[in-house]
Every structure is written in C-alpha cells, then in structure tokens.
C-alpha cells in the first residue's frame, strides 16, 4: 500500500514505492515535490521506470532498491541518489541535474544526454554515453568509477566522459572494446591502460594538457566526495585523453 | 498444424519481431521448488510484454514418470485430438494421458484443449532408429500433418506451459504453484508484426531442449534452410524455433560442448579471433567455417535449458539485456535486475555478463560468480594506500 507521510519534517518526505506502478509512482513523486519539499526518500523501489521525470526543480530524490529502466529520463533539475544498482538507460536524454549511483549501471547509461552529470561508483554496461551532445554552456558529464563494457562513448557528439577503472587489477588493461566508435565530439578521460586496437577508428589519443588536468581534477574530486573515496590516490595515476579525429566521420559516406 | 501461414501470419512475413521479458532460475543443488516465485518475477517485467504470449518451462517436473517422454499437446478441435491419439497409440506405448489442469480466468480467452501424454518407445515401431530421433520425427509429423494440433513439449521429466496472455496470467491459468522443479524459465511476449497465438508463445522446445528468447534473429532464413537439411521443419513462423532445433543438432547429434555452441551462435568477430592464442584461433575459425549458417545474426538474449543445465547468452555486441545473480545455490538470469530482487531482495552477487559470453548453471559443476573488486573498498578515503 502507498504510504505518504503527511508530516513534513525538514521538508523531507518518505514514500513507499512498494507495489506502485511506474505511472502512479511518478505522479505521486511529482505531487510530493510540488509544495516546496526538498527531498523525497523512496523505499522498496523495484523496477519502476522513468523515476524523476517531469520534475523541473532542484529537489533530491533518494532511491532505495532497484530502480527500473530510464531512471531520470529527461531529467531537468533534480538530483537522484540510488542506493543500489541502476538498470538500462539511466539518465536517458537528461538536461539538467545529477544522478549518483552507489552501485553499477546497465547499458546505454546517459544516452543522448544534453546536460547534467551522472556519477556511477562501480561499472557500466554497453554503450555508455551513446550520442551524448553539448551546446553552449550545456555540457553533460558521466564519471564511472569501475570499468565499462564495449562501445563506450559510441557516436559521442559532445560532453565529457571519465572512465576510472578503479576495479582493474594492477598491470591489467581496460577490457572495453570499440571505445568511441563513431565519436565526433566531446572528450573521454581514461585512467589506466588501453590498446589502440580497443579504440574505434574515429578516435585519437593524447596526453592530458593543463586544461584537461584542471577539468578532470574537479570531476574526480566531486566523484570522490559523493562516494567517500580518496581523490588524490585516484588522480595520482596515468590518464589518457581520447578525442574525435574528425568532426564529421561519415560526412562523405553518403555524399557524392 | 495445417495452413499455419493463412491462419496465423496474414502478412506472409517470415518471422516475428519480439521485445520481450525473460527469466530463468535454477537451484544448482537440484532441490525442487514451486512456481510461485517465477510468476512473481516475470510479473515484475509486465511492461516488457503486451499480453500476447506467456510461458514457462519446468525441469524435474515428472520424477515419477522420468523415463517416459512427456508430450504436452494443444488441440484446437476434437478431430485433431482423435487423430493424434490414434497416431500416438500406433507409434508408442501410451503409459498415461490426462488433460492438463487449468483454472478458468476471465483474461484467458478461447484457450485450446491442452493434454499431457507419457509415452514409452515401442521398439517394434521405432526399429533401429534412436529413440530421440524417432520422437523428433513423430513431433514433426504431428505438427505438420495433423490438423489443429501442436506438440509444444516433448522431453523427459520436464514440461512447457504456454499460451496467449501475460505470463503471470498463464502461470495462474495452468496452476503452476502446484508443480515443482529445480529449474524454471519464463517468458513474456511482445510480438510486433504478427498475431500472437498459443503455439507462438515461448518457450520453444524439442526433446530435452528449451529456449526463451528476447530479440530478433535476422539470420532466420539462413538458419532455417540449413536446419531443413537435417530434417528440422520450422512450423511456428517464429525465429526462436530455429534456436531450439540448432541446439538439438549441435549438442545431441554433433556432440559439441555448450561453450562451443555459444561460439557458433555468437561467434567472435574475425579480428577478435586473430588476437586469440593459436590453438583457440584454429577452433574458432573451424567453427565459423563449418557452422557459419548457424551464426545467429541480429539482437538476442536467450536462456537455454536441458536436463541439469541452464545457459544464458546474448549476441556478441549485446543488443538485448541480461543480468545474472546468485544467492546460495540459486542462479538467476533476467532481462532486468528488479525482477530478481522482487523474489530475492538480498543477493550474493549481481553482474551484467559480456556479450557472447555464456553463463552456465549446472547440477554437475558448481557455479562461480565472477570475482568483482569493489571500487568503494579499494579507494576508500583514509584507507590503506593502494598498490598503484
């Protein structure tokens, strides 16, 4: 049964997601944040989708359990904190706000994101950051503590992705293949080793310059603060910068 | 089943495109458990299907009749039933026949009669033919020749239950809480380019082999033509059927281990093969050369089961999802983690397997979840300095 606490203490509300359907949960969530509430804590979440969509306010939504696909899709302001794992499509086309996952995330994390930041403590599935884009001051960011599966940053068109690989054993390289296939914008900062044959054809690699270092340091510090990790030790390591070689890699493919 | 094309597939298309829910759970100690949990799990994935097909497979289902072939048969008419029963009596010793118990539900519309037959091989009829081959021939003959009849389960000590509806409805309709098995699989269907019908629901089965599938086999035509050379006739107009027959061919007839079957279905790319050690290169090249026509192209996640084993596999670039988890002796495979959590909130391990990498749960071999190193434990603030 639904239980929405009537008493508002420090403008925090508790909500039992229990057996609520996706649509019911999101409607209740929207109502709950309509009155100036700062934070809603969801309990017993189990597969409900699109959590946090349609709320254009900087509220905090804490998720206890396993949220369903497309967590925070079209997110436009809220901060979502997940105590558990996220499924596929986390941060789908998000615009503003943050998603912080104390666990791993599934495939297509941050697909088509156009703003906001995603922090995943552990690893991600296939095609994280696929078709992320940026415009003007809108620059989406994805930081991943663990490792990624294949097609990391596929068709990436903008924004920043950081892959830390903190779970990789000393001396081992990243296991992800086809990194940045079709990439034509944005930048990837990768900590640790990766071979050239693991990269897409459209990707170049270089050492980080001072600007890169400054951007990366800020992101790693934010990431470390969220998960109580040691930013200095994380930064004290080799990084590689991956960038697109061409602005329009397929520009001549269909043109005469 | 006659005139299948006119009846079920008015657009004459070759296959059905699915975007479905799949779930499998196996107690690797062999302990049997009822169907309540898997019904709850597949219900959690309700939105992945559209109510046009749901089904279950259960292994360890008929321990008292374990030595007999258990046929589950759908009849759309009494004529089909009469003809089928006389056919079965001609070909086998009929040990037992009974209508499968159902519970009338308003959501289950116009169901066929579903019967169960326990059959013993009659050597005077089957002659020198291997028992399994003889049963396959009989299943193919009934499904292609006898009107209004469809054999959808033909293994020993296992059974399929399926039909048109959401899987949780089908589970309740067939009273699955009353059965027990050590391995359960379930499927919720979302057919997108042909009418859902009872036979077209998953799982698909031949003899001991069962498949549930999420995805679309774009190599269906090539696979089907290859299998026809070995006497497998595809009657369901659904791509998943080729997977069941392909496994039967590769494992039962050609004796390939399951790991090799995975390399046939989800073969590594040529450039991947070139980076492997020499001996492995030879094997992978040979498999691609000999069984190129059984490469499954297009997006898929499948769960395959046979006696004592459950296997999860996705296509090599993982275009459909699969999450694996363990708790004690239980191994779970699911389209989504939430469905596993719905029946087992506390898990020992949860992970997302790589594309093309089979996850094999077996009664014989203990399953080991991959060792995962937690980021939080390694780089904890104020923790011991890390080696790198």
Is A255 contained in some domain?
no
State residue A85 phi and psi, 5-degree precision. -100, 150
Residue after which a domain boundary falls, among A57, A88, A119: A88
Distances (CA, A) of A256 to A245, A251, A252: 22, 10, 7
CB spacing of A106 vs B352 below 8 angstroms: yes
Do A113 and A229 belong to one domain? yes
Interval B312-332: pLDDT, tens: 999 999 999 999 999 999 999
Contact residues on chain A for B387, CB-CB shorter than 8 A: 170
Whether A77 and A138 map to the same domain: the answer is no
Position B386 pLDDT exceeds 60: no
Cβ within 8 Å, pair A126-B355: yes
Residue A94 lies in a domain: no
The structural domain count of chain A equals 2
Mean pLDDT of chain B: 90
B352 neighbourhood in chain A, CB within 8 Å: 104, 106-107, 125, 149
Pick the closest to residue B332 from B313, B314, B317, B347 (CA basis). B347
Residue at B277 is within a domain: no
pLDDT band at B381 (very low <50, low <70, confident <90, very high): confident
Quick check: B44 and A224 CB within 8 A? no
Residue A178, in any domain of the structure: yes
Task: Please tell me whether residues A139 and A225 are part of one structural domain.
Answer: yes
Return the pLDDT at A55. Answer: 96
Residue carrying the six token digits 């009749």 = B65
Domain at B125, CATH number = 3.30.70.1430
**A229 with A118, same domain?**
yes
What average pLDDT score do residues A12-27 get? Answer: 94
Closest partner residue to A166 (CB to CB) among B341, B378, B385 is B378
Higher model confidence: residue B384 or residue A48? A48
- Does residue B144 form part of some domain? yes
CATH code for position A209: 2.160.20.60
Q: Assess whether A154 and A112 both reside in one domain.
A: yes
CA distance A243 to A240: 10
pLDDT at B5 over 80: no
pLDDT in tens, B174-206: 999 999 999 999 999 887 655 678 888 899 999
On whether residue A99 sits in a domain, the answer given is no
Average pLDDT over residues A93-105: 98
Any bridge partners for residue B125, and if so which? Answer: none
Picking from A60, A88, A116, the residue at the C-terminal end of a domain is A88
Residues of chain A above pLDDT 70, percent: 94
pLDDT exceeds cutoff 70 at A1: no
Q: Considering only alpha carbons, which residue of chain B is nearest residue A230?
A: B381
Averaged pLDDT of chain A: 93
For chain A, the distance separating the N- and C-terminal CA atoms, rounded to the nearest angstrom, is 62
Are A155 and A206 in a shared domain?
Answer: yes
Q: Does B269 touch chain A (CB under 8 A)?
A: no
Structural domain range at position B146: 62-156
Retrieve residue B113's tokens: 């009669």
Which of A88, A116, A145 marks a domain boundary? A88
Number of domains comprising chain B: 1
Question: What range does the domain containing A18 cover?
Answer: 1-88
**Residue A97 belongs to a domain:** no
Answer yes or no: do A183 and A133 share one domain: yes
Same domain, A213 and A156: yes
For A137-182, write each residue's pLDDT tens digit: 999 999 999 999 999 999 999 999 999 999 998 889 999 999 999 9
In a domain, B30, yes or no: no
Beta-carbon count within 10 A of B13 CB = 12
**Three-state secondary-structure class, residue A158:** strand
Radius of gyration of chain A from Cα atoms? 19
A146 contact B CB<8A: yes
| Contact check, Cβ <8 Å, A234/B379 | yes
Interface test with B, best of A49, A68, A237 (most B CBs within 10 A): A68
Give the three-class secondary structure for B103.
Answer: coil
Residue B265 included in any domain = no
Residues in Cβ contact with B148 at an 8 Å cutoff, skipping those fewer than 6 apart: B1, B2, B75, B76, B77, B79, B80
Residue A141 sits in the same domain as residue A84:
no
pLDDT tens digits along B89-137: 999 999 999 999 999 999 998 999 999 999 999 999 999 999 999 999 9
Mutate one of A19, A104, A105, A172 to test the B interface: name it (highest B CB count within 10 A). Answer: A104
Residue A98 in any domain: the answer is no
A48 within a domain of the structure (yes/no): yes
Same domain, A183 and A215: yes
């Amino acid at each position: 049964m639904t239980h929405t606490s009537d008493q508002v203490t420090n403008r925090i509300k508790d909500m039992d997601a229990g057996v609520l359907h996706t649509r019911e949960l999101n409607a209740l969530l929207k109502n709950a944040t309509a009155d100036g509430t700062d934070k809603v804590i969801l309990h017993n979440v189990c597969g409900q989708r699109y959590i946090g969509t349609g709320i254009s306010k900087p509220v905090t939504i804490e998720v206890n359990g396993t949220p369903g696909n497309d967590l925070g899709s079209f997110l436009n302001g809220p901060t979502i904190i997940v105590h558990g794992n996220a499924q596929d499509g986390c941060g789908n086309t998000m615009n503003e706000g943050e998603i912080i996952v104390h666990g791993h995330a599934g495939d297509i994390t941050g697909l088509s994101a156009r703003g906001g930041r995603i922090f995943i403590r552990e690893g991600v599935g296939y095609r994280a950051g696929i078709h992320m884009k940026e415009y003007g001051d809108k620059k989406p960011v994805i930081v991943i503590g663990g490792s990624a599966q294949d097609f990391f940053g596929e068709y990436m068109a903008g924004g920043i992705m950081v892959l830390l690989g903190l779970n990789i054993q000393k001396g081992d390289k990243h296991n992800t293949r086809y990194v940045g296939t079709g990439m034509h914008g944005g930048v990837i900062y990768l900590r640790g080793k990766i071979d050239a044959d693991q990269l897409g054809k459209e990707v170049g690699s270089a050492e980080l310059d001072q600007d890169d270092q400054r951007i990366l340091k800020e992101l790693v510090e934010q990431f470390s603060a969220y998960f109580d990790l040691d930013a200095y030790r994380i930064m004290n390591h080799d990084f590689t910068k991956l960038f697109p070689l061409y602005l329009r890699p397929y520009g001549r493919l269909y043109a005469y | 089943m006659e005139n299948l094309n006119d009846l079920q597939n008015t657009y004459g298309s070759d296959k059905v495109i699915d975007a479905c829910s799949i779930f499998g759970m196996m107690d690797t100690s062999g302990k049997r458990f009822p169907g309540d949990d898997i019904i709850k799990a597949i219900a959690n994935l309700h939105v992945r299907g559209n109510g046009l097909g749901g089904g279950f497979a259960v292994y360890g289902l008929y321990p008292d009749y374990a030595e007999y072939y258990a046929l589950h048969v759908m009849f759309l008419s009494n004529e089909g039933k009469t003809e089928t029963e006389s056919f079965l009596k001609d070909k086998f010793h009929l040990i037992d026949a009974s209508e499968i118990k159902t519970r009338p539900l308003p959501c289950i519309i116009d169901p066929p009669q579903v019967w169960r037959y326990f059959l013993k091989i009659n050597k005077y009829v089957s002659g020198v033919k291997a028992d399994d081959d003889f049963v396959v021939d009989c299943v193919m003959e009934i499904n292609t020749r006898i009107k209004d009849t469809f054999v959808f389960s033909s293994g020993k000590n296992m059974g399929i239950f399926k039909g048109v509806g959401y899987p949780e409805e089908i589970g309740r309709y067939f009273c699955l809480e009353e059965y027990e098995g050590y391995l359960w699989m379930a499927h919720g269907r979302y057919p997108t380019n042909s009418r859902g019908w009872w036979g077209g629901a998953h799982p698909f089965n031949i003899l001991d082999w069962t498949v549930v599938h999420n995805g679309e086999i774009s190599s269906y035509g090539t696979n089907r033509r290859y299998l026809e050379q070995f006497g497998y006739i595809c009657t369901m107009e659904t791509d998943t059927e080729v997977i069941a027959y392909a496994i039967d061919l590769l494992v039962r007839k050609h004796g390939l281990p399951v790991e090799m079957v995975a390399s046939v279905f989800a073969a590594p790319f040529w450039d991947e093969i070139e980076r492997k050690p020499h001996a492995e290169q030879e094997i992978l090249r040979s498999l691609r050369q000999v069984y190129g026509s059984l490469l499954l192209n297009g997006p898929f996640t499948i769960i395959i089961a046979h006696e004592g084993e459950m296997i999860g596999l996705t296509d090599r670039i993982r275009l459909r999802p699969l999450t694996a988890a363990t708790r004690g002796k239980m191994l779970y495979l699911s389209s989504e983690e939430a469905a596993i959590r719905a029946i087992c909130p506390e898990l020992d391990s949860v992970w997302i397997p790589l594309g093309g990498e089979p996850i094999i749960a077996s009664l014989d071999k203990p399953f080991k979840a991959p060792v995962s190193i937690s980021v939080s434990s390694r780089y904890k603030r104020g923790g011991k300095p890390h080696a790198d």
